[in-house]
């Protein structure tokens, strides 16, 4: 991959989250400057900001995610709140409801279920929470908080079939969960990481789970039977914490972003550990906190502590 044009500038502090809208063409970003921004990527060679930054949070925005239809954006903040925004017209985002509450500490990660009817959150209060989003104007907190981690929950993700979730935490653990009321841990934590787990993600078909950790490694599991996950291998190469991992839409490539300022690409299969592809992608001048593939898999976007967003595309 090669960088595509100059970095996108607008945020005035670390960029912790980036997410493509389903269908592509629009990017959302969240930052320590307490705002969410939208970007027009219809022409990736000439990206441009859409509208004004969305303010309202009183602390860092750690996570942004679109619902499957692309009309609702959820964001999560260190101010303990989750917001739902109507982004049918990203130039005029509007709050759909009062901030979604339930967590009692910073919310580090939010994820929509594949149907868009559930939203999950992971927090510094050590819990996972679920909300029903059948009517985004009236989100409903589902049951009690789910506990299983012994420290902050830093990342949450849904599998493709909506019945299983994954999470990563400051307790060095990766966990699998049955989506229930409340969610219930499946088995014991997946072993191996020796530092905080900053990011977990399922492959598009739900058969693989990847995790990135402060121990500088990426671990890959086959989770076709969530009760008996199989560790496929460990990827090493980053020189600092792995803050983010993301699968390509076809599930064949995993991207990782690190505090060593680089992004790496890995080939993944269901029979072996991740294999490095090419050289690390360089260009950021700070930690890379978030990476995401475009829906068509042709672009990769990254957000960094250097306050910028970069676009990358495959060169062949």
272-307, pLDDT tens digit by residue?
999 999 999 999 999 999 999 999 999 999 999 999
Q: Tens of pLDDT along 221-258?
A: 999 999 999 999 999 999 999 999 999 999 999 999 99
Express each pLDDT in 147-173 by its tens digit: 999 999 999 999 998 999 999 999 999
| pLDDT for the residue numbered 24 | 84
The whole-number pLDDT of residue 182 equals 85
Residue 112 CA: distances (Å) to CA of 30, 88, 106, 140, 196: 17, 17, 18, 14, 23
Give me the pLDDT at residue 124, please.
98
User: Does the pTM exceed 0.85?
Assistant: yes
Per-residue model confidence (pLDDT) at position 69: 96
CATH class belonging to 2-313: mainly beta
For the chain, the helix, strand and coil percentages under 3-state DSSP, each to the nearest 5: 0, 50, 50
Q: How many helices (H) and strands (E) does the chain have?
A: 0, 28
316 confidence band (pLDDT: 50, 70, 90)? low
| Pairing of the two strands 253-258 and 140-147 | unpaired
User: What tens digit of pLDDT does each residue of 11-28 get?
Assistant: 999 999 999 999 889 999
Neighbours of 5 (CB within 10 A): 12
Residues contacting 73, CB < 8 A, separation 6+: 19, 28, 36, 64, 65, 66, 67, 84, 85, 87, 93
145 and 153 Cβ atoms separated by less than 8 Å: no
Tens digit of each residue's pLDDT (9 = 90 or more) over 89-139? 999 999 999 999 999 999 999 999 999 999 999 999 999 999 999 999 999
Hey, how many other C-beta atoms are within 10 angstroms of the C-beta on 120? 26
Percent of the chain with pLDDT over 70: 100
Task: Report the C-alpha gap between 150 and 163 in whole angstroms.
Answer: 23
Q: Give the model confidence (pLDDT) of 184-205 as tens digits.
A: 999 999 989 999 999 999 999 9
Locate the domains of the chain by residue range. Answer: 2-313
């Amino acid at each position: 991959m090669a960088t595509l044009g100059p970095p996108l500038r607008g945020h005035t502090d670390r960029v912790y989250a980036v997410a493509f809208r389903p269908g592509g063409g629009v990017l959302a970003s969240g930052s320590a400057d307490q705002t969410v921004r939208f970007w027009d990527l219809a022409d990736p060679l000439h990206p441009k900001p859409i509208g004004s930054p969305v303010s309202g949070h009183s602390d860092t925005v750690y996570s942004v995610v679109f619902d499957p239809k692309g009309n609702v954006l959820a964001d999560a903040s260190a101010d303990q709140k989750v917001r739902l925004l109507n982004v049918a017209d990203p130039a005029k985002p509007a709050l759909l409801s009062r901030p979604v509450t339930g967590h009692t500490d910073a919310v580090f990660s939010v994820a929509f279920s594949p149907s868009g009817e559930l939203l999950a959150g992971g927090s510094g209060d050590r819990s996972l929470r679920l909300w029903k989003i059948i009517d985004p104007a009236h989100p409903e907190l589902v049951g009690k908080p789910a506990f299983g981690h012994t420290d902050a929950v830093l990342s949450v993700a849904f599998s493709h079939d909506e019945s299983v979730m994954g999470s990563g935490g400051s307790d060095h653990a990766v966990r699998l969960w049955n989506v229930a009321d409340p969610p219930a841990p499946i088995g014991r934590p997946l072993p191996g990481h020796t530092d905080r787990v900053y990011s977990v993600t399922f492959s598009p078909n739900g058969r693989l789970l990847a995790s990135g950790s402060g121990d500088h490694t990426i671990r890959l599991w086959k989770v076709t039977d969530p009760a008996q996950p199989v560790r496929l291998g460990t990827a090493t190469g980053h020189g600092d914490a792995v803050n983010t991992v993301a699968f390509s839409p076809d599930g064949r490539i995993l991207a990782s972003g690190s505090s060593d300022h680089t992004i790496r690409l890995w080939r993944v299969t269901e029979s072996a550990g991740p294999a490095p592809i090419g050289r690390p992608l360089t260009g950021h001048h700070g930690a890379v906190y978030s990476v995401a593939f475009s829906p068509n898999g042709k672009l990769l976007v990254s957000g960094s502590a250097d306050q910028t967003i970069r676009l990358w595309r495959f060169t062949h």
